[in-house]
């Protein structure tokens, strides 16, 4: 990494989420004078009402489920009960530690933090509406890292009572008896499975033909079977049209395959996606315009079309993932500080905390074929993994997609135990232009779950040891 430049610039970062605060810290490390403007809370959606609290609650629900199956191991547990208030408080404690840590890091790096809603008033100028009145700031560069907000659909406005967004779902005052989830993407399935494991009846409705649109279909099929085993109802080709309230009951009207259907529940959760946050930012005052989807267009250095403005994170385009935003923040910081840097990632991993977990990086088989690759695929099931057996989690597999001519890794897709951790090795391999043979020849510790990736790489060439492959397969 290059040394910090001799010239220090004044930089304003709008937003302190995983894109904004990472950018601010790196800017400070590179000798810049940085001010962060945050409207609500340090850490943004991810740390406060997104990634971290959801994974904490999911971990708790998974632990509760495992206790219920402990008798299989000869461990008998009686009198297990859920205290929802304590669970939510435990989750809040984790969030508090992490957001406090972000605040401490910003302070230690001499980053000024101004709490309030910021808006651009001109080139290099930002006005912040704080609790003590307006505060005007000036800078040489402005980084827009305002993130995104939950997307509502007609007839299902978020009111925190009848209709939850993911925010309310992560801080429940009560456990619903019957939760209806609108949207079968990763947020809807993660939260739906979470509440099912905690004891609620759950119905998920999805407009497309299956769960997790755009993901590897074989991986998704494993998750759909798991949801069925959990007793979670999943309705496809279904559109939510509205609801009526009668006491504690919500009667939700659906259109399923052109036929009207009603589902009664006591809580609705809408998780149809998120949209970039740009309301009231004053973008128009400096000539910045968003796309139809609400994104700001940027180049590989995260510069917008207007000089002096950068955009990172959710507002800078898909995929709307925290780790992608953090990487963009590092790139923007380096460029602002005078270094030669650009966003040049071959792939961005996706992790989904369903049951079982799913993770993916690189190209799907059909995407690779569409790009002109002749594809070879290797698969290895967790049912043949000794470590997976010892964890009593044998559903799923690892799939390696490689170029048949060059053997270069094109994509890796996993569903099964702890695959959200295993995907890191696959991401590094693709970034380094590794081949499936490179993975296969690398010694993996035994007995561990990553051995499944090694075996899947061997399977590309029909040479997996711990499963039988017919010659020529």
Catalytic site residues? Answer: 446
* Residue in 357, 322, 314, 359 with CA at minimum distance from that of residue 52: 322
Pairwise CA distance, residues 429 & 410, whole Å? 10
For residue 415, the tally of other CB atoms under 10 A from its CB is 27
Q: Which regions of 363-396 does DSSP assign to beta strands (E)?
A: 375-381
Pairwise CA distance, residues 362 & 430, whole Å? 7
- Give the CA distances from residue 140 to residues 144, 310, 336, 417, 443, in Å, rounded to whole numbers and listed in that order: 13, 11, 9, 48, 50
- Nearest 10 degrees: CA dihedral of 142, 148, 152, 157? -80
Query: b/e map of 39-71 (b: 16 or more CB within 10 Å)?
Result: bbbbbbbbbbbbbbbbbbbbebbbebeeeeeee
Question: Helix, strand or coil for residue 50?
Answer: coil
Question: Helix, strand or coil for residue 406?
Answer: coil
> Could you tell me how far CA 382 lies from the centroid of its own chain?
24
Pairing of strands 112-115, 33-38: parallel
- Count of CA atoms in the C-beta half-sphere (13 A) of 281: 29
For the chain, the distance separating the N- and C-terminal CA atoms, rounded to the nearest angstrom, is: 45
- Nearest 10 degrees: CA dihedral of 295, 298, 304, 305? -100
Q: Which regions of 139-229 does DSSP assign to beta strands (E)?
A: 141-144, 148-150, 163-164, 178-182, 201-205
Beta bridge partners, 310, equal 143, 303
């Amino acid at each position: 990494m290059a040394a910090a430049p001799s010239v220090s610039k004044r930089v304003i970062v709008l937003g302190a989420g995983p894109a904004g605060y990472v950018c601010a810290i790196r800017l400070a490390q590179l000798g810049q004078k940085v001010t962060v403007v945050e409207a609500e809370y340090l850490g943004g959606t991810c740390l406060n009402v997104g990634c971290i609290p959801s994974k904490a609650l999911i971990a708790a629900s998974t632990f509760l489920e495992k206790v219920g199956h402990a008798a299989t191991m000869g461990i008998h547990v009686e009198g297990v009960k859920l205290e929802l208030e304590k669970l939510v408080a435990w989750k809040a404690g984790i969030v508090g530690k992490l957001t406090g840590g972000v605040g401490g890091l910003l302070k230690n790096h001499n980053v000024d933090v101004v709490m309030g809603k910021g808006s651009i008033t001109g080139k290099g100028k930002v006005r912040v509406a704080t609790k003590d009145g307006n505060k005007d700031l000036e800078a040489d560069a402005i980084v827009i890292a305002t993130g995104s907000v939950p997307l509502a659909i007609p007839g299902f406005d978020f009111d925190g009572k009848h209709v939850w967004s993911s925010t309310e779902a992560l801080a429940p005052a009560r456990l619903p008896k019957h939760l209806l989830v609108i949207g079968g993407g990763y947020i809807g399935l993660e939260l739906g499975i979470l509440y099912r494991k905690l004891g609620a009846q759950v119905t998920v409705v999805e407009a497309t033909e299956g769960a997790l649109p755009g993901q590897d279909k074989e991986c998704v099929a494993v998750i759909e079977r798991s949801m069925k085993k959990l007793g979670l109802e999943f309705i496809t080709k279904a559109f939510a049209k509205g609801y009526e309230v009668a006491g504690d009951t919500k009667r939700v009207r659906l259109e399923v395959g052109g036929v009207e259907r009603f589902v009664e529940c006591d809580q609705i959760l809408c998780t149809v996606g998120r949209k970039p946050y740009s309301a009231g930012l004053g973008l128009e005052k400096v000539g910045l315009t968003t796309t139809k989807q609400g994104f700001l267009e940027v180049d590989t250095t995260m510069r917008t079309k207007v000089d002096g403005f950068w955009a990172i994170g959710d507002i800078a385009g898909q995929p709307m993932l925290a780790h992608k935003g953090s990487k963009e923040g590092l790139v923007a910081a380096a460029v602002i500080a005078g270094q030669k840097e650009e966003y040049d990632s071959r792939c961005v991993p996706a992790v989904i905390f369903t049951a079982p977990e799913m993770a993916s990086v690189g190209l799907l088989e059909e995407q690779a074929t569409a790009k002109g690759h002749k594809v070879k695929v290797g698969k290895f099931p967790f049912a043949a993994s000794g470590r997976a057996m010892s964890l009593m989690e044998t559903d799923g597999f690892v799939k390696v997609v490689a170029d048949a001519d060059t053997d270069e890794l094109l994509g890796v897709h996993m569903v099964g135990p702890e695959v959200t951790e295993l995907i890191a090795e696959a991401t590094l391999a693709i970034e380094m232009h590794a081949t499936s043979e490179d993975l296969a020849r690398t010694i993996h510790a035994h007995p561990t779950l990553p051995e499944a990736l090694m075996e899947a790489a061997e399977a590309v060439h029909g040479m997996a040891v711990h499963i039988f492959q017919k010659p020529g397969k």
